[in-house]
Amino acid sequence: MKKYILSLLISCVAFAQQTPAPKQTKSILITGGKAHIGNGKVIENSLISISNGKITTITDATNVRPEKHDIYIDASGKHIYPGFIAANATLGLVEIDAVKASNDENEMGQMNPHIRSIIAYNSESGLVEAARPNGVLVAQIAPRGGRISGTSSVVQLDAWNWEDAIVKENDGIHLSWPRSYSRSGWWAEPGGIEPNKKYDQQITEIQDFLNDANAYVASNPNVRDIPYEAMKGLDTGEKQLFVHVDGEKEIIDAILFKKKNNIKKMTLVGGYYAYKNVALLKENNVSVLLRRIHDLPLLEDEDVNLPYKNAKILYDAGIIVGLQNAGDMERMQIRNLPFYAGTCAAWGIDKEDALKLITSNTAKILGIDANYGTLETGKSATLFISEGDALDMRTNKVTNAFIDGRQISLESHQTELYDRYKEKYNAEK
């Protein structure tokens, strides 16, 4: 019995997340790497100085004699990138899909703006750990379910708990816009498309809820109503409205809803047919977090490559566009985020512009661009070094990663299995 308990404890320790890195106390100098700034610029032979969690210097290393540092990293022949940002993610909210008790991504009811996803965020999730070796170091933790799903927050992915992880708390409210149509059947045997007879009614319900919330805030009542109170800030820009919508008609209706209610900041999440409403998007300053790139078209008679081209169409039109990964197995797929950007580059967008889709553009959309998203003096030293092109799964191999100047572990359950079985097969040769 004692042996069984001991082996159980060992196995639990083996699969636990690595201890978060301590606060940076020693200065770091990275030299020789090709720095991809994240704003379209590149420094071929860079020098990056990091101190107290910030980038204190980034410049061309040619003919520069740096000051003395505590730690030196030679990145010659390697690439340096700002940490990738996963928007609209459910990392840390569900650990095992088949275990209901581990699922905290949604709440009962339809109108839940007061549900804060950050409270349920598990910073020790193995899936958080698995995202980091591909350069995903920051994420927006967003709720699911209902009409108004709740409020998201932005975190960095190396922390003891959700309080330590927070980069921006309560950054936006997530609204699932009604569909004007419904589909019958399932993916293997799709049925027909029928109009949603309750579409107008469902929009009215959203408008009524917002009207009631505005009236509540204006009246300064004695009795608190937490859901109504949570809607405060949409008119001032303190909170952003993330509208999950794909259809052309629905996108138009959502933007008209923004105008009618003086909502200062709005982002379309999904936005598959946003390219059909470019003028309206620009006129109303609406950004887009595109649906998963590695997917099929929504309609069978569309260009099969449209999901790959969508980002370029919007980018060329001057829309602030980023990528997100909602869908089947989304938490496991987060580590593929850089390769979605790589696919966009393969289908027409410039490689450095494709990088913006998961760095500077996403940082702007989430309102964290003052500190994250690019390699610039004064910003957070959240970055990584790769042996190859980080947007190419064949060559991306992250050797060092830093979050706020702290060098983090890149070990995961996957790397443990790799080392274990590599040793096994090497011994058998």
Query: How many other β-carbons are positioned within 10 Å of the β-carbon of residue 104?
Result: 18
Give which of 24, 70, 50, 134 is closest to 379, Cα–Cα.
Answer: 50
Q: Which amino acid is at 54?
A: K
Residue recorded with tokens 């708390």:
169
Name the band, by pLDDT with cuts 50, 70 and 90, for residue 23: very high
Give just the sign of the alpha carbon dihedral 320, 322, 328, 330. Answer: negative
- pLDDT score recorded for residue 419: 84
Q: How far apart are CA 298 and CA 196, in angstroms?
A: 17
pLDDT of residue 266: 97
CATH number for the region 93-372 comes to 3.20.20.140
Q: With bands split at pLDDT 50, 70 and 90, how would you rate the model's confidence at 17?
A: low
DSSP letters along 374-400, please? S--TTSB--EEEESS-TT-TTT--EEE
Q: pLDDT digit string (tens) for 352-369?
A: 999 999 999 999 999 999
Q: Does position 373 have pLDDT exceeding 80, yes or no? A: yes
Break the chain into its structural domains and give their ranges: 17-83+373-429, 93-372
| 410 CB-side CA count, 13 A | 16
Encode 201-218: b = buried (16+ Cβ within 10 Å), e = exposed: ebbeebeebbeebbebbe
The amino acid present at 227, given as its one-letter code, is P
Q: What is the pLDDT of residues 145-200, one digit of tens each?
A: 999 999 999 999 999 999 999 999 999 999 999 999 887 777 677 777 888 899 99
Q: What are the DSSP calls for 186-229, one per residue?
A: -SSSEEEEEE-TTHHHHHHHHHHHHHHHHHHHHH--SS--HHHH
Residue of 83, 105, 96, 127 lying closest to 331 (CA atoms): 127
Question: Pairing state of beta strands 240-245 and 190-195?
Answer: unpaired
Q: What residues does 46 pair with on adjacent strands?
A: 60
Q: Which residues contact 228 (CB under 8 A, 6 or more apart)?
A: 212, 213, 216, 217
Tokens for 293, please give them: 């790139």
pTM above 0.85, yes or no: yes
Q: Which two tokens stand for residue 35?
A: 């720095």
Specify the pLDDT at position 187. 66
CA distance 416 to 419: 5
CA atoms within 13 A on the CB side of 307: 18
Q: Kindly state the tokens that stand for 78.
A: 């390697």
Superfamily of chain region 17-83+373-429: Urease, subunit C, domain 1 (2.30.40.10)
Is the pLDDT at 13 greater than 50? The verdict is no
* Average pLDDT of every residue of the chain: 91
Kindly state the greatest CA–CA separation across the chain.
Answer: 77
Closest alpha carbon to 53 in 169, 170, 168, 167: 167
Half-sphere exposure of 337 (CA within 13 A, CB side): 35
State which H helix or E strand residue 346 sits in.
Answer: helix 337-346
Give per-residue pLDDT as tens, 394-421. Answer: 999 999 999 999 999 998 888 888 888 8
Q: Buried b vs exposed e over 244-253: b needs ≥16 C-beta within 10 Å?
A: bbbbeebbeb
For residues 175 and 149, the answer to whether their CB atoms sit within 8 Å is yes
> pLDDT, tens digit, for every residue of 81-126?
999 999 999 999 988 888 888 888 888 999 999 999 999 999 999 8
Q: What residues pair up with 155 in beta bridges, in sequence order? A: 139, 166
* Each residue's pLDDT tens digit, 197-253: 999 999 999 999 999 999 998 887 888 899 999 999 999 999 999 999 999 999 999
Rounded (5°) CA angle 135-141-143: 145
pLDDT of residue 311: 96
Report the first-to-last Cα separation within the chain, whole angstroms. 37
Number of alpha helices (DSSP H) and beta strands (DSSP E) in the chain:
13, 20
Short-list 313, 333, 234, 232, CA closest to 271: 313
